[in-house]
């Protein structure tokens, strides 16, 4: 992390643009495949129950390997890991687009997730290196970076519809290749270099945490098919939780763990990560089911459905870049996190009132804009709080933890709300009333998760102590 006496990097804003582009692409890759799934299913022979793994293979590899990515960023230097991540992401994208069978497709998607797991924590570490010692510029840098995440999720839906309708499904993966080339060519001259540090890598920890997250998500994803009352569901879920417990046990005994458990004593770290997890658990199901409502109930084509989400993206960008930094400076992070999650919950509940014979202007636009404002208010301050660890050397670890929280929340929230929607009628394709009832149940569940996040933030986050009086500061 930079300090106040160091001269500013002359090309730091160009570097920030590449960092924001990385965040945009990492999140976009979780959503761009949604509209293309039916054509991929036909081309590659996926069964209906296994099709969701095109999404899950990416998210699990991404979320499970983020801590390892953060550790590698700390040890080998964020600039090196950032470049390596783009190379892995490009290779995975090439494989996924060329795949002729289902298992090759999943290998490509997992490789994309692994590349993103290297890119995301390295990008945040680079951001803190460039702007961490410049408090007047850091809020704006966070705003630009933070706006890239939800914009990437929404743009993925839009671009996925555009590409699927007017090109071919393979290009939802190949679109990463020219972007990766651009970043790899531009990064060496603008990114700050950092010397490698000596230390060991906790491979056992990386294996147990990744396997634990994968098995846990697998149990929840499969539960609607095999039943929540099935012994198989609970045995698999127990196995996943045991692997996560084993990861914690391994960390407590390692001299150089993948995740130093003492980092959780940092003020507000746990509360900020919980806010990010619950925010993602509510936000990702919202855009997922909103897209289905637009297409399957209101009858919009893939391209029109993606375009309908652009007002929400514009609201997020405006709030994050223009208003959020000023509001943080005025009120501090905690009030914005609580208020933002409450507004997100209100927007979700409003969406749950959508009608089978509704319209975009009445049933979608105002509610989605309210949800977008809530997301924009809560995302930046919770991210900044999660990264504010006392030891700058653990910046990569902190960024790995907060990205893991967001991705795990995404996977678990979508899996749980998919189960809720299926139990309330979303499987009845061609029946607008049943579909709307199922989607409304998912929106209600997502609203409950966002409200839980607001309450948890209210109870767990502490407001920093008032600044020292001028006379005492001078002394």
Please state the rounded mean pLDDT for residues 324-328.
82
pLDDT of 5 over the 90 cut: no
Q: Quote the percentage of the chain above a pLDDT of 70.
A: 91
Report pLDDT for 422.
Answer: 80
According to CATH, what is the number of the domain 1-191? 1.20.1250.20
User: Is it true that domain 262-462 has CATH number 1.20.1250.20?
Assistant: yes
Distance CA 276, CA 268 (A): 12
pLDDT tens profile 84-95: 999 999 999 999
Confidence of residue 40 (pLDDT cuts 50, 70, 90): confident
Confidence of residue 163 (pLDDT cuts 50, 70, 90): confident
pLDDT of 338 over the 90 cut: yes
Domain boundaries, the chain: 1-191, 203-257, 262-462
Count CB atoms within 10 A of the CB of residue 322: 13
pLDDT of 118 over the 80 cut: yes
Among 122-131, 164-173, 240-249, the range with the most confident prediction by mean pLDDT is 240-249
Q: 262-462: same fold as 1-191?
A: yes
Is the pTM above the cut of 0.75? yes
**Would you say 155 and 314 are in contact if contact means Cβ atoms under 8 Å apart?**
no
Report pLDDT for 30.
Answer: 73
Confidence of residue 49 (pLDDT cuts 50, 70, 90): low
Neighbour-count burial for 131-144, b at 16+ CB within 10 Å, e otherwise = bbbbeebbbbbbbb
């Amino acid at each position: 992390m930079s300090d106040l006496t160091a001269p500013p990097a002359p090309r730091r804003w160009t570097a920030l643009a590449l960092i924001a582009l990385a965040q945009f692409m990492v999140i976009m890759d979780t959503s761009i495949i949604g509209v293309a799934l039916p054509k991929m299913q036909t081309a590659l022979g996926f069964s209906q129950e296994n099709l969701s793994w095109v999404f899950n293979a990416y998210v699990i590899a991404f979320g499970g390997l983020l801590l390892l990515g953060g550790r590698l960023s700390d040890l080998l230097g964020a600039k090196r890991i950032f470049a390596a991540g783009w190379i892995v992401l490009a290779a995975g994208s090439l494989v996924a687009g060329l795949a002729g069978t289902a298992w090759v497709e999943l290998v490509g998607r997992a490789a994309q997730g692994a590349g993103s797991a290297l890119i995301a924590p390295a990008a945040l570490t680079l951001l803190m290196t460039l702007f961490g010692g410049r408090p007047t510029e850091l809020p704006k840098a966070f705003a630009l970076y933070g706006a890239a995440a939800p914009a990437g999720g929404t743009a993925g839906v839009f671009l996925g519809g555009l590409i699927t309708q007017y090109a071919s499904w393979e290009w939802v993966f190949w679109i990463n290749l020219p972007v990766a080339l651009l970043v790899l060519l531009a990064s060496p001259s603008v990114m700050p270099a950092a010397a490698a540090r000596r230390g060991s890598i906790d491979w056992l920890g990386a294996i147990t945490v990744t396997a634990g997250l994968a098995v846990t998500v697998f149990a929840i994803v499969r539960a609607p098919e095999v039943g929540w009352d099935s012994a198989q569901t609970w045995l698999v879920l127990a196995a996943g939780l045991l692997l996560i417990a084993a990861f914690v046990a391994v960390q407590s005994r390692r001299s150089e763990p993948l995740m130093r458990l003492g980092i959780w004593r940092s003020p507000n770290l746990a509360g900020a990560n919980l806010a990010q997890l619950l925010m993602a658990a509510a936000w990702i199901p919202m855009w997922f089911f909103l897209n289905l409502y637009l297409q399957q109930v209101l009858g919009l084509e893939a391209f029109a459905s993606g375009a309908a989400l652009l007002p929400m993206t514009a609201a997020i960008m405006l709030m994050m870049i223009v208003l959020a930094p000023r509001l943080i400076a005025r009120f501090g992070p905690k009030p914005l996190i609580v208020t933002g999650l409450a507004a997100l919950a209100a927007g979700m509940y409003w969406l749950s009132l959508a009608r089978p014979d509704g319209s975009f202007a009445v049933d979608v636009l105002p509610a989605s804009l309210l949800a977008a404002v809530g997301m924009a208010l809560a995302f930046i301050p919770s991210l900044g709080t999660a990264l504010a660890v006392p030891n700058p050397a653990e910046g990569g670890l902190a960024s790995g933890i907060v990205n893991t929280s967001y991705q795990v929340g995404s996977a678990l929230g979508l899996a749980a709300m998919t189960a809720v929607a299926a139990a309330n009628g979303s499987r009845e394709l061609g029946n607008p009333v049943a579909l709307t009832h199922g989607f409304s149940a998912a929106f209600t569940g997502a609203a409950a998760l966002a409200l839980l996040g607001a309450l948890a933030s209210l109870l767990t986050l502490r407001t920093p102590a008032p600044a020292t009086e001028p006379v005492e500061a001078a002394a």
